[in-house]
Chain A
Amino acid sequence: MAATVPTVPAPALPQPRKVRRSPREIAERPATILAAVGAAMALIFLVTPLSGLPGWALCTYAGFVVADAFDVYRTDGPVVAKDRVATVLIATAGVCTVVPLILIVAYVVSKGLHGVTKSFFTETLEKVGPSDPATVGGAKHAIIGTVEQVGLATILATPLGLMTAVHLTQSRGRLARVTRVLVDAMSGIPSIVAGLFIYTMWVVRFHEGFSGLAAAMALAVLMLPTVARTAEEVIKLVPNGLRESSLALGAPEWKTTVRIILPAARSGLVTATVLGVSRIAGETAPLLMTAFGSDSVNTNPWHGAQSALPLFAFQRVRNAIPTQIARGWAGALVLIVLVLTLFTLARAVAARGRKAR
C-alpha cells in the first residue's frame, strides 16, 4: 500500500563494520591449545590410568575445554566463559553424531564400490559358482524383491498410518487414547517378532508359503507405527485456527480434514511416509521367515520365495568366499543409495508441490 511517498532522499547507508580480532588474541589461541596438549600429556602419564590413543584424545579434549574456558574467563569474565564451554560441548555433540554416520557410509562405499558393476544390476546369482570372480553375477533379483516388497508394504501401511494419525488428532474420544498407547506399543515390536507373526499366521497357517507379499505384510507391521506417530505430530502442527475457520464456513468435519488439514500438512506427511520406508528398507530379520531368499528372479510378489537387498547382503557376507562377501557389500551400498535417492526425491517433490501453490 502506498500510504506516503518520502520526499527527502534516503541518506547513504553506512558501511558494515569489520569486527576483527586483535593480534594479541590471535597469538593467544595456539598458546591455549599448546597448554591443553601439555596438560593432557601430564594427565595421562602422571595421574590417570588411561593409556594409548583414546586416553590421549580424551585427556587432550578435557584439557582443551578447561584451558579454553580459563582463557576466555581471564579476558571476558565468567558469563562468556560458561557460554564458551556450552558452545564447545554442543559442537562436540554435533560432531559425535555426524562422524559415525560418515564413517559407516564411507566404509560401505570403500568395501562395496568395486563390486557395483553393470552386471550387478542385470544378472542374478543363478549360474554363479564359487570360483567365479566378483564381476560375474549380480543382485537383479534382490533389487526387484526389495522394490516390490517395500512398495507393497508402503501401499499397505501408508493409508492405514495416515488414517490412524487422523483418528488420533481429530477425534477426541477415549478410543483415541487407547489407540495411541497401542501404536506406541506396536513401535516397540522387535522386527523378528513381526516376521514370526506373519510366518505363523500367513505362511504356515494358510499354507501360502514364502512370498514377497508375506514379507510386505511383516514390513507393514513395522512401518505402520512410524508413519502413524510421525503423521500425528505433523498434523498437530497445523494451526487450530484453520480447522476452526473451515468449520465456521459450514464445512463438515471430514471435508475439513481432507481439504484443509491434510493439504496443510502435506510435505510433513510425505516425510512421515519416507521415514516409514527408511525404517523398513534395511530390515533383514522379518524377511528370513517371509520372503526366505532366492538366487533367481521372481517378479511375482504373490507367490514363491523372493530375495531382497538386505537379505542378499546378509547371506553373501556370511559366506566364506571373498567374492561373495564383496557382493554382499555391494548389495549394502546399493541399498543405502536406493533409500537416499528415495528420500531426496520425496523431499524434492514435497517442496516443489508447496512452491507451486
Chain B
Amino acid sequence: MTEIPTADVRIDTAVLAVEPKPFTSGGGELRAHGVTAWFGKHCIVAGVDMEMPAGSVTSIIGPSGCGKSTFLRTLNRMHELVPSAAMAGEVRLDGVDIYAPGSRPSLMRLRIGMVFQKPNPFPTMSIGENVLSGLKLAGIPCRDKAGMTERCLTRAGLWSEVKDRLGAPAGALSGGQQQRLCIARSLAVSPRVLLMDEPCSALDPSSTMRIEETVREISAQVTVVIVTHNMQQAARVSDYTAFFLADKGEPGRIVEFGPTGELFNAPNDPRTEDYIHGRFG
C-alpha cells in the first residue's frame, strides 16, 4: 500500500490551533435508557441502556440486522420518520428527555446531528452553500458566513482541498470529499452530539482515514456516536464501544458496553470475543 499523504491534515490542524474558540458548544452528554424500537409489530432493538459521556466517541458494532442503525436513529428522532415506526424508553440529552411531550423533533435534530452512510450533499447547492445550508434551513442567522464556512470545512478536514472552488457544485467532489462536506454541514449548526451511521462504508481506505482523523479532531467539541462494521475503525476512533447482537427472530440487544480498550482486549462476554475475532457475523 502506498503511503497516504498527511500534509493536508497537518495544515488543517495548525489552523485549528490558531482558532481561539472554534465552537460554542462543548459536546453534550447523551443517555439512552430502555430504548426499544419497532417497525410495525416487528421489534428491532430492545432495552438498550447506554451512556455516552460529553466529548467522547462511542462506537456501536455488531453484525448486520442487529438494530445498530435503528438504535442510532432513535437518538435524534429520525426513527419516527418511517410511518410504521414506534419506540419506547428514554433518550436524555444533558438530562432533558428528547421525546418529552411538546419537544419539537426539528429542535432535537438541530442539537443531535447525523451523518449518513451514503454521502448526500444537496445537489442544487454549491460547496459553500452546502456548508451553510443547515443554518439556513433551521433559520439561524449567521453574520460571518465566510468565517463559518472556513471553520467548518477546516474542522472536517476539507478546507485546503476546496478553498479555491467554494462556488463549484457539491456533486463534483469525490465520494470521500462529499462525506467530509456532509460532516462540515452537520458541524455548522453547532450540534452537541453527532451521530454517524457507517460514514465510511462507501469510501476508499484513504478517505476513511481522513474521516477518522476528522472524528478524532471534532470529538473535543462534539460528542460522537458512530455505527461501524469495521472493528479496526471502532478500535481506532472510539473511547467506548457497544456490542449489539440479535438472536434469530429476536430483537437486537446490547451484549457488552465499556471502554474500547477493555472491550477489545478483555471482553467479559464470550459472544463479544467470538465476534471481534471474526468467529461469526
- Flag if B120 contacts A239 (CB, 8 Å): yes
Which of A65-73, A132-140, A205-213, A255-263 contacts its partner?
Answer: A255-263
- Flag if B124 contacts A249 (CB, 8 Å): no
Q: For the complex, what is the distance from the CA of A255 to the CA of B118, rounded to whole Å?
A: 22
Q: At the interface, yes or no: B166 with Cβ under 8 Å from chain A?
A: no
Interface string of B99-142 (1 = CB under 8 A from A): 00000001101110110101010111110000001101111000
Picked from B5, B139, B186, the residue with its CB within 8 Å of the CB of A248 is: B186
- Flag if B122 contacts A242 (CB, 8 Å): yes
Q: At the interface, yes or no: A53 with Cβ under 8 Å from chain B?
A: no
Q: At the interface, yes or no: B255 with Cβ under 8 Å from chain A?
A: no
Q: At the interface, yes or no: A266 with Cβ under 8 Å from chain B?
A: yes
Residues of A within 8 A of B114 (CB): 244-245, 248
B37-55 CB contacts (< 8 Å) to partner A: none
A310-357 CB contacts (< 8 Å) to partner B: 357
Most buried by B among A3, A4, A252, A255: A252
- Flag if B76 contacts A251 (CB, 8 Å): no
CB distance from B84 to the nearest CB of A (A): 9
Q: For the complex, what is the distance from the CA of A3 to the CA of B5, rounded to whole Å?
A: 6
Q: Chain B residue with minimal CB distance to A266?
A: B124
With A264-B123, A266-B124, A357-B169 as known contacts, state yes or no: A249 contacts B113, CB within 8 Å: yes
- Flag if B124 contacts A250 (CB, 8 Å): no
- Flag if A357 contacts B137 (CB, 8 Å): no
Picked from B83, B124, B136, B161, the residue with its CB within 8 Å of the CB of A172 is: B83
Residues of B within 8 A of A239 (CB): 120
With A241-B118, A252-B106 as known contacts, state yes or no: A246 contacts B137, CB within 8 Å: yes
Residues of B within 8 A of A260 (CB): 122, 124, 137
- Flag if A259 contacts B118 (CB, 8 Å): no
With A241-B120, A263-B124, A266-B124 as known contacts, state yes or no: A249 contacts B2, CB within 8 Å: no
Q: For the complex, what is the distance from the CA of A249 to the CA of B135, rounded to whole Å?
A: 8
CB distance from B144 to the nearest CB of A (A): 19
- Flag if B78 contacts A247 (CB, 8 Å): yes
- Flag if B138 contacts A251 (CB, 8 Å): yes
- Flag if A250 contacts B118 (CB, 8 Å): no
CB distance from A61 to the nearest CB of B (A): 46
Interface string of B62-106 (1 = CB under 8 A from A): 000000000000001010010100000000000000000000001
- Flag if B124 contacts A264 (CB, 8 Å): yes
- Flag if A249 contacts B120 (CB, 8 Å): no
- Flag if B126 contacts A250 (CB, 8 Å): no
Residues of A within 8 A of B118 (CB): 241
- Flag if B206 contacts A249 (CB, 8 Å): no
Q: For the complex, what is the distance from the CA of A201 to the CA of B163, rounded to whole Å?
A: 62
Interface string of B180-220 (1 = CB under 8 A from A): 00100110010000000000000000100000000000000
Number of contacts between A and B (CB, 8 Å)?
87
Picked from A244, A250, A263, A266, the residue with its CB within 8 Å of the CB of B137 is: A250
CB distance from A197 to the nearest CB of B (A): 35
Q: Chain B residue with minimal CB distance to A250?
A: B110
Q: At the interface, yes or no: B4 with Cβ under 8 Å from chain A?
A: yes
Q: For the complex, what is the distance from the CA of A1 to the CA of B6, rounded to whole Å?
A: 12
With A248-B114, A250-B106 as known contacts, state yes or no: A3 contacts B134, CB within 8 Å: no
CB distance from B201 to the nearest CB of A (A): 14
- Flag if A1 contacts B161 (CB, 8 Å): yes
Q: Chain A residue with minimal CB distance to B111?
A: A250
Q: For the complex, what is the distance from the CA of A109 to the CA of B185, rounded to whole Å?
A: 56
- Flag if B185 contacts A357 (CB, 8 Å): no
Q: For the complex, what is the distance from the CA of A266 to the CA of B5, rounded to whole Å?
A: 40
- Flag if B137 contacts A256 (CB, 8 Å): yes
CB distance from B163 to the nearest CB of A (A): 14
CB distance from B70 to the nearest CB of A (A): 14
- Flag if B123 contacts A245 (CB, 8 Å): no
Q: For the complex, what is the distance from the CA of A247 to the CA of B79, rounded to whole Å?
A: 12
Residues of A within 8 A of B116 (CB): 241, 244-245, 248
Residues of A within 8 A of B206 (CB): 1, 3
A281-327 CB contacts (< 8 Å) to partner B: none
Residues of B within 8 A of A3 (CB): 2, 4-5, 206
Interface string of A258-283 (1 = CB under 8 A from B): 01100110100000000000000000
With A1-B161, A239-B120 as known contacts, state yes or no: A249 contacts B81, CB within 8 Å: no
Residues of A within 8 A of B126 (CB): 357
B1-52 CB contacts (< 8 Å) to partner A: 2, 4-5
Most buried by A among B4, B122, B169: B122
CB distance from B155 to the nearest CB of A (A): 16
- Flag if A249 contacts B185 (CB, 8 Å): yes
CB distance from B44 to the nearest CB of A (A): 17
Residues of A within 8 A of B4 (CB): 3
Most buried by A among B76, B124, B125: B124
With A239-B120, A241-B120, A264-B124 as known contacts, state yes or no: A247 contacts B109, CB within 8 Å: yes
Q: Chain A residue with minimal CB distance to B138?
A: A250
A sample of 10 cross-chain residue pairs with beta-carbon separation below 8 angstroms, ordered by A number, consists of: A244-B78, A245-B122, A247-B81, A249-B137, A249-B138, A250-B106, A251-B137, A252-B106, A255-B139, A357-B169
| A247-B81, A259-B133, A357-B124 given; 8 more Cβ-contact pairs under 8 Å | A3-B4, A172-B83, A241-B118, A246-B137, A248-B78, A249-B133, A249-B189, A357-B126
Closest 4 CB pairs of A and B: A250-B110, A251-B137, A249-B134, A248-B114
Q: Tell me the A residues contacting B by CB distance below 8 Å.
A: 1-4, 172, 239, 241-242, 244-253, 255-256, 259-260, 263-264, 266, 357
